[in-house]
Chain A
């Protein structure tokens, strides 16, 4: 969790989201989706607020949320890197590409780098198997990746960020 945000900031406007859903158990998933879309992830204060609104325990809500890979519990980075692990990518060695990303970014899939720049995610298929192995950064697809190529791409993004902050 980004410590620069106070608890109240993390749930700012959450009551507005609640208004759209009745206060009952069946609203858990739609509300989680709404929260994720609005805040980018599902934070502990958001779950506590949901718990109070729905009358369902925080652990139960967390149990539901942690069942689905679509819900994130940490703020996403500026760039979300999706590395495909689908069949076509898998047979074309996407695992070693993921390995290179892990080493380069020093995070596990599902986590965000400490500088808040990158989030590493495993996905099942991006829908362009002919280009396998595939990586996508904020929706932009990179085709036929190798260990060297991903390092190169990451370097470019870092360079771009440095230039921005340098000016």
Chain B
């Protein structure tokens, strides 16, 4: 049938929707709640179009085409409607970053998002790099938020295995509910409650496991926002490589897409929209393969001790050891998790090189458990490709060569250990349960010196019989020799794997190793199955009584000021006695913690307390904000750094942003007491991120609040308010900017030619804080300075801002790795933020 879309006549297919038809012809209609895997829903109304003869604006995602339809997709009226619809939707989503005038500059200065607890803007959102809402808002030209947005103060849910859920980001598109229904038959989650209280949830607030979740992860795959995230993968950012391959945890052999960053696997998901994969396919591959416990270097036994050696040395040793155990003295033991190519080489090696009949291929049981005990008496040397042989049998062998991925009792008592590449780290072919051949495509690099199993065995064979062994240059040569036609291989399947519907069907073992030993979220799943919920800390905290004589570094009060930002009052009389404005302390939460510098926000010499304002930004600050009232920090050292020179400057403008707002209270008071006119400008993304308004008003002569979305006070960053002030003729003698590097950088750049001195407070990574280690070095005016002793205040116009950023990000890979575990968080999740934050004070 013929339809006309935007003046172009196209041929529609019976049963398809306007949207499907348009997309097929490359005509783009903005859309959001619809998804190719899901039936039409028509919830968000972004995809509205005009159809001649039809009343109103039908949604193209749910309107079937009909003969002779005349459709318009890009009229001015539609553009305005769509923009307003998105604008309304953005009232319940942290949206300030979408309408920020410095959005491009921010993306350029810091393209990667920062890992936080609660997301309050794109810059701290795990979904930033692939966000559909961001794209849409750019397409539709969203430039303002019409009224003050509503933040729901829902606690971030981090107490489920594998899945983080932050409902404060949810736009209620319903994709997760619909995919759950499609993939699981029944929806484990649904819309609950009504109108402004509507949210995605489980019956009676049960946890996901109780509600029947199988952790197939499909909901995460379709979420267009950062609401649902894969706890392991969330902060790695956009993948630089996506590879389609086959899962080999079991012989269902599901098709997977493996996402990699820098050749490291970070996420996996099912390849087909129609079928879910099981918990292992979705969540257990990256954490398993990236496990720090992986074997990385070859080892040989020297005087009862295993010593690391090169792969060449190890294979050389193998050949030497095997020389005296030819024929029936030798056995090769592998299981079917090795590729067909691996196994071809093993067999060939056993029969042709070792001339032994003892090549054993174990088929694991339903749980993936493979054990081999049936070893003939005369066997004295063995090569194994996993930890399959019971340890009791170890003494029967004179020589054990272990090709493995993780250390085990078996590898620890082996004569030679070779680390191997497996799974998504190798190419080849495998057989599924119906004996169909499935392709395995290398998706990432193995750790350290690990090599594919066939390659290691070939190395031994080459040393053993350099003349006879016909060397394979690449795995494809083996595939060819096996007579497999790679052109005919495919990843298709017809049904969902059983374990995706029934959690209990999941495999538990891989190559003789228990998968949950390396995938923390699986332990949580088992705990749920066995009825052991994790401890609930929140209830304990209510009973805390602060003693009259607190212990050193005891937390006397802890409150969440605004989402993700906390105020701590800590007992530290010695620091309170000596502290001066502008100085900082270094905190160690426990004995093994990182040392983190925090500016002293305030202190009380009489009470012996210090006040810090802290944001959750990673593992260490997360540990910090998880400390309860009445608990003690391991150590607080300070006061450190050079104090701010308190004297008469004239008119001082103090610009505070984020955690910097908390850091300037005492400074402002001291400057005002010296007779300065202090103009305090506090910036926040939105009204629900503003804090310390009263405190800052009390210590300044003039207080100005700015918000990026104009929902409280003036619109824009602090620097915008400063510029407006200068335009009114206000004379400023000194600018002090305290906030994140981006905020201080733009302040520096935009005041550079004003002829006003500007100071900023730098907080690079620090170790000792006394000028010894040099970790905090930065360049100011071409000179190297140590932020800990020369700073924290420096001339903002002389700072090398790119270097500041780069040095802060020096360990970002390690930092992300540190928060990437899939075990649920047991800290402070139950707390309802609303009661503690200052939002209630805003009228």
Contact = CB atoms under 8 A, between A and B. Distances in A.
Contact of A59 (B193, B194, B202): B202
A61 B202 CA distance: 10
A47 B203 CA distance: 8
A156 B203 CA distance: 38
A58 interface: yes
B212 interface: yes
Given A47-B203, A51-B186, A57-B190, 15 more contacts: A44-B204, A47-B204, A57-B187, A58-B202, A58-B204, A58-B206, A58-B211, A58-B212, A59-B187, A59-B202, A59-B203, A60-B190, A61-B203, A66-B193, A67-B193
B186 A55 contact: yes
B189 interface: yes
A57 B188 contact: yes
A100 interface: no
A58 B210 CA distance: 10
Contacts of B191: 63
Contact of B194 (A56, A58, A67): A67
5 contacts: A56-B186, A57-B186, A59-B202, A60-B186, A62-B192
Complex A-B, nearest 7 residue pairs according to Cβ-Cβ distance, in ascending order: A62-B203, A57-B186, A63-B190, A58-B203, A59-B190, A59-B203, A60-B190
A66 B410 CA distance: 56
A56 B187 CA distance: 8
Interface in A28-50: 44, 47
Contacts of B194: 66-69
Contacts of B186: 51, 55-57, 60
Contacts of B203: 44, 47, 57-59, 61-63
A73 interface: yes
B201 interface: yes
Interface string A81-118: 00000000000000000000000000000000000000
Contacts of A73: 204
Interface in B170-206: 186-194, 201-204, 206
Interface of B is mostly: loop
Interface of A: 44, 47, 51, 55-63, 66-69, 73
Contacts of A61: 203
A69 B197 CA distance: 12
A69 B193 CA distance: 9
A67 B193 CA distance: 5
Chain A CB within 10 Å, residue with most, of B189, B192, B193: B192
Contact of B204 (A56, A62, A67): A62
Contacts of A69: 194
Nearest to B211: A59
Contacts of A66: 192-194
Contacts of A68: 194
Given A66-B193, A67-B194, A57 B212 contact: yes
Contacts of A62: 190, 192, 202-204
B207 to A, nearest CB: 12
A56 to B, nearest CB: 7
- Chain B interface category by residue count: 10 to 19
A63 B201 CA distance: 8
Nearest to B195: A67
Contacts of A57: 186-188, 190, 203, 211-212
A73 B205 CA distance: 12
Contacts of B212: 57-58
A47 B194 CA distance: 18
Nearest to B186: A57
Contacts of A67: 193-194
Contacts of B204: 44, 47, 58, 62, 73
B597 to A, nearest CB: 43
Chain A CB within 10 Å, residue with most, of B188, B204, B212: B204
Contacts of A47: 203-204
A44 B207 CA distance: 13
Contacts of A63: 190-192, 203
B218 to A, nearest CB: 15
A59 B190 CA distance: 6
Contacts of B202: 58-59, 62
A47 B202 CA distance: 12
A47 to B, nearest CB: 6
A31 to B, nearest CB: 15
Contacts of B211: 57-59
Nearest to B202: A59
A63 B177 CA distance: 11
Nearest to A44: B204
A68 B193 CA distance: 8
A10 to B, nearest CB: 13
Chain B CB within 10 Å, residue with most, of A47, A51, A57, A73: A57
A163 B202 CA distance: 43
Chain A CB within 10 Å, residue with most, of B186, B188, B192, B203: B203
A55 B202 CA distance: 16
A90 B203 CA distance: 33
A56 B186 CA distance: 6
Contacts of A58: 202-204, 206, 211-212
B179 to A, nearest CB: 14
B385 to A, nearest CB: 43
A44 B187 CA distance: 17
A151 to B, nearest CB: 26
A63 B189 CA distance: 9
Nearest to A67: B194
Interface in B287-311: none
Interface string B225-269: 000000000000000000000000000000000000000000000
A144 B192 CA distance: 36
Nearest to A62: B203
Contacts of A56: 186
A58 B193 CA distance: 14
A63 B186 CA distance: 13
Contacts of B190: 57, 59-60, 62-63
A60 B201 CA distance: 10
A152 B206 CA distance: 40
A66 B192 CA distance: 6
A128 B24 CA distance: 61
Nearest to A1: B204
A1 to B, nearest CB: 9
Nearest to B194: A67
A47 B186 CA distance: 14
Nearest to A47: B203
Interface string B126-165: 0000000000000000000000000000000000000000
A29 to B, nearest CB: 14
B670 to A, nearest CB: 44
A66 B211 CA distance: 16
A51 B204 CA distance: 13
Nearest to A61: B203
B560 to A, nearest CB: 22
A66 B194 CA distance: 7
A69 B189 CA distance: 20
Contacts of A59: 187-190, 192, 201-203, 211
A44 B202 CA distance: 11
A124 to B, nearest CB: 14
A58 B211 CA distance: 7
Chain B CB within 10 Å, residue with most, of A47, A51, A58, A68: A58
B204 to A, nearest CB: 5
Chain B CB within 10 Å, residue with most, of A44, A56, A62, A73: A62
Contacts of B187: 57, 59-60
A48 to B, nearest CB: 8
Nearest to B184: A57
A62 B191 CA distance: 9
Contacts of B188: 57, 59
A57 B214 CA distance: 14
A56 B204 CA distance: 15
A60 B188 CA distance: 8
Contacts of B201: 59
